[in-house]
Each structure stands twice: as C-alpha cells, then as structure tokens.
Amino acid sequence: MNGTSFQEKLKKFPVEIGEMYEGQRIRRPDMYVEFGGPDIPKKFELVRVKPLEEVEDGKIVVLGPDLSDMKVGGSYPIGTLIEAAGKRVDKDIEGVLERRVHYFMNYIEGVMHLNQRSDIWLRISKRSYQKGLNSLKLVGEALMMLYKSSLPIIEKIQVTFYTDLPKVEEVLPEALAVYSARDARARTLKDEDVGEFYGCVMCQSFAPTHMCVITPNRIASCGSISWFDARAASNVDPKGPNFPVPKGDCIDPVKGVYEGINKTIREKTMGSVKSISLYSMFDHPHTSCGCFEAIAFYIPEVDGAGIIHRDFKGACVNGLPFSTMAGHTSGGTQNEGFCGIAVEYTRSSKFLQADGGWQRIVWMPSQIKERVKDGIPPDLTERIASENDVKTVSELKEFLKQKNHPVVERWKEEAEAGKEEAKAEELAPPEEAAQLQPTLFQPTVELPSTAGFRIILKNAKITAEKIIIKHAEKAK
C-alpha cells in the first residue's frame, strides 16, 4: 500500500488512526464493550503465514455477534486470526507480526488493547462507536492498512474475528499449540551462544522508562517475543521497536549484568534506568510495562518467592491480588522483590538464578504449576504450595516445614548467623564494644499513623550509626 492510498483510506475511516492514541485508557464507564480480560477465560490472537494462493487479500470475516449486536457494557470472548502472505514473508516472523496486533490496535482512536496471545484484553469506547466504529470489520480494515503500510513485504492479508464462544473454543487449542512450538524452539539457545541480545520498546507509550531486554534465556515479559522473534523483527523492520543490544562485557554472570545492556537501557530510558539484572528480582530487577504474564514476588516471612499470573482470581498467599502487585511492578520502575516475568521464563535454566531459582519458589497457583510442571525440578514439585494447599503465610510456613522445602535450610542458616553475631558482640572487648553501633530492641513500636493506617513493628531491632544527646531547649 503506497502512502497516498493509505492517507486516502484514513480520511474515509470513521475514527482517527495514529501513534498519538498509543497508551490510551478506556475506563469501564466509557466503554461500549470489552473482549477478553480477567473475566473472560477464552480469548486469543494468532498470526499464521500462508502461501500466497491461500490468502484472499482484504477479506474480513466476523464469526459470531458483531459490535452492533452486543450489549453496552458487556464482556465477550474473542479470537483474532490474521493470515498473511508474501514472497519475503517467512514463518519465522509469525510471532513478530502477532505482537504488532497490540501495537496497531492502540493506534485506533477509542480502542484499548492490552497483553498478548491468550491473555488479551480489548475495549471499544462509546465515543468511537458513536462516531461510526460499529463493526469489528472496521477494526480489521485498520489492522490491514497498518500492517501493509508498515511492512511492505506483506502482499496479502486477511482477518477473521471469532466472537461466538464455541468457535473461540474450537480454534483456541490450535493457537496454544503454535505458542508452545515457538517457545520450545526458543529453548534450544542459551545466552552464551549468541553475540548480541535484543531490546523492545513497543510498550513505552504505557511505560516511558521501560525497555525489555530479550535474550535466549529470558523471553520478553509479555511472553510473546523470543530472541528469534526479536532478531527477525529487527531484520524486517530496522526502524521498528525491536533492535540489537550489544552484550559488552559481562559484569556479573550470576545476576546477568552486562555492560552493553546497561549502556543501551540508559539511552533508551533517558537515564531513568541505569542498570538491570536479567536473573534477579532483588538487585536492580528488570523493569516492566504492564503486559507481563506473571509476577515473581518476595515473601519475607518465609524468605521465599511466589509467582502469580494474570488470570488468578482473588488474593494470593500474601493477601494481595494480582492487580495490587501489578500496580507496584509495572510502569517502568524497579522495585526490589517484585519482577514482571513471562510464564515461559520459569522454564529457563537461568530463571532467577541469582536468587536461588526454583529452590526459592515456595508458592504458585495450581493452574501455572500444572502448566510449567515439566520445568520444575521433580524433587520440588510437591514441595511448592498452591492455593489448594495454603491460604495464609502462617499456613505456608507450616507447609514448607512439613515438606522440608529448601528455604527451610535458609532459616536455619540465618538463625545460626544471628547467634554467631550475638555471641561476637557479647565476647567483644570493651574498647571494641564501644565501637559497636547502638542498638535498641523494642517488643512493640508503633509508627506515626498515615493515610488512616496504623503501622506497628513487632520485635523491632533498631540500629543507629550514632546517638546524639542534647539538652532540651527551654521554650521561649
């Protein structure tokens, strides 16, 4: 599609299309309808590359109710199948083209698109519906225009939307099988096998200080772009959101700290993020936008880590739901003890290796546990709790003791270290003891209240570098 015909089509389109709409949010009171999301379990997006003769260019089909047939404020299942063809369009870029659905959907005025693969969430605003965006066929037309104008190698493209639940359920297994095959291929490489990594800034409209680093051992946090996908995207569209990241010197192989990554991420985030660790959730964890499939989070009461995914309902073992932790994890910030991850990353040999990897995981939803069971060390499978085993941190602690989870050894080591430290302080000579930092132990300390909350510290041990004692000044 040449620039002239593209601009002509834009003029006739009922709503505006452009990068200025990236990052738009459509709140529930403003939405006409939504597809997918946390309340709709059946949804997917899939791109398949086909031979030229098997694709009917410009064909758009809606199998099921269209926008005009839907109830205002309703939530519906959806499946989006895009079939593309071209002499230079290779199957290796299917994942690349698929991730562009997120990119292009958000170009359409009044359309909000989140996530990817079988985790999508799509909303259409009332305002855009009233302006004439009253059919999914128009959404398909916009996608076709954007694909062809951005990627001229695509010669033919057709789109099918499934909104009838039985149809979505019929095609969903095919989509899941394709996702699994792509992920399996990506596992054949290790970070040490390649000369460069890749970056992705597709979500910077939502999180300006976020840049995803994609390596063979660490798939993009959205779960949809592997190292192979990012390489293909960079080759097909050199000016696009995926680009090479030189590895540079490896500063810390355990944490996954690379000089080249840090240099690139400083440039792409305008200095907001200076360093990241690929394989740690504690020391400069990888930033996240909001499209991550799951969150790895620290549980200090047991010195272990948990995993919660987007579709988990209710509160997890620490009493917090996914939405609350997502707010703390997303936005391109670095918060130690919270890290947005792809579910596939849990199968990586470098999965949180600086923090203990699977030896540190103590809780995860049963659905995810079953999904990645083949990646969990066999001796740990039954020692990791799920929502079916425990409901609270206290119950989790008892479960870990009963199962003799590896973190229990950490408790013993920490307890021994505490005893040794206390003993050293007791045996310290007077002159050395005088140099020890002053420590105040209080069974209960209540901090000043804030925002309606009372904060009480139990068995608090407060250490100060020095104590300064002054005469109180008399009030004038």
Decide if 105 contacts 17 (C-beta within 8 A): no
Tell me which residue of 226, 228, 197, 196 sits closest to 213, measured CA to CA.
197
Residue 60's beta-bridge partner residues? 159
* CB neighbour list of residue 28: distance below 8 Å, 6 or more residues apart: 73
**Torsion angle (degrees, nearest 10) of CA 144, 149, 153, 154:** 10
Q: Tell me, what's the pLDDT at 400? A: 97
Q: Tell me, what's the pLDDT at 475? A: 44
Q: Tell me, what's the pLDDT at 107? A: 93
313 residue type, one letter = K
Which token pair is 311? 């579709």
Q: Tell me, what's the pLDDT at 451? A: 43
70 residue type, one letter = M
DSSP track, 377-428: -TTTGGGSB-TTT-SSHHHHHHHHHHHT-THHHHHHHHHHHHHHHHHHHHHS
Q: Tell me, what's the pLDDT at 187? A: 86
CA 179 to chain centre: 16
Q: Residue 74 in 3-state DSSP?
A: strand
102 residue type, one letter = H
Question: Measured between alpha carbons, how far apart are the two ends of the chain, in Å?
Answer: 82
- In whole angstroms, give the CA distance from residue 292 to residue 221: 5
Decide if 419 contacts 397 (C-beta within 8 A): no
Tell me which residue of 13, 3, 222, 224 sits closest to 110, measured CA to CA.
13
Strands 304-309 and 361-363: parallel
Q: Residue 285 in 3-state DSSP?
A: strand
DSSP track, 158-213: EEEEE-SHHHHHHHHHHHHHHHHHHHHHHTT--GGG-SEEEEE-TTTTT-TT--EE
Other beta carbons within 10 angstroms of residue 13's beta carbon come to: 17
Residue written as token pair 């149809």: 167
* CA angle centred on 56, ends 50 and 58, rounded to 5°: 115
Q: What are the pLDDT tens digits along the chain (476 aa)? A: 545 576 777 778 999 998 888 878 999 999 999 999 988 999 999 999 999 999 999 999 999 999 999 999 999 999 999 999 999 898 888 988 998 999 899 999 999 998 889 989 999 999 999 999 999 999 999 999 999 998 889 999 999 999 999 999 999 999 999 999 988 888 889 999 999 999 999 888 778 899 999 999 999 998 888 999 899 889 888 888 999 999 999 999 999 999 999 999 999 999 999 999 999 999 899 998 888 999 999 999 999 999 999 889 889 999 999 989 998 898 889 999 999 999 999 999 999 999 999 999 999 999 999 999 989 999 999 999 999 999 999 999 999 999 999 999 988 776 666 666 666 666 656 555 445 455 544 445 555 544 444 455 555 566 666 555 555 554 44
Residue 123: its H or E element: strand 121-125
* CB neighbour list of residue 33: distance below 8 Å, 6 or more residues apart: 67, 70, 71, 72, 73, 74, 75, 76, 123, 124
Residue 70: its H or E element: none
78 residue type, one letter = I
- In whole angstroms, give the CA distance from residue 238 to residue 1: 19
**CA distances in angstroms from 226 to 23, 198, 275, listed in the order given:** 23, 9, 22
Q: Tell me, what's the pLDDT at 429? A: 61
Q: Residue 299 in 3-state DSSP?
A: strand
- In whole angstroms, give the CA distance from residue 452 to residue 430: 46
**CA distances in angstroms from 453 to 300, 447, 448, 457, listed in the order given:** 21, 10, 9, 13
- In whole angstroms, give the CA distance from residue 206 to residue 342: 18
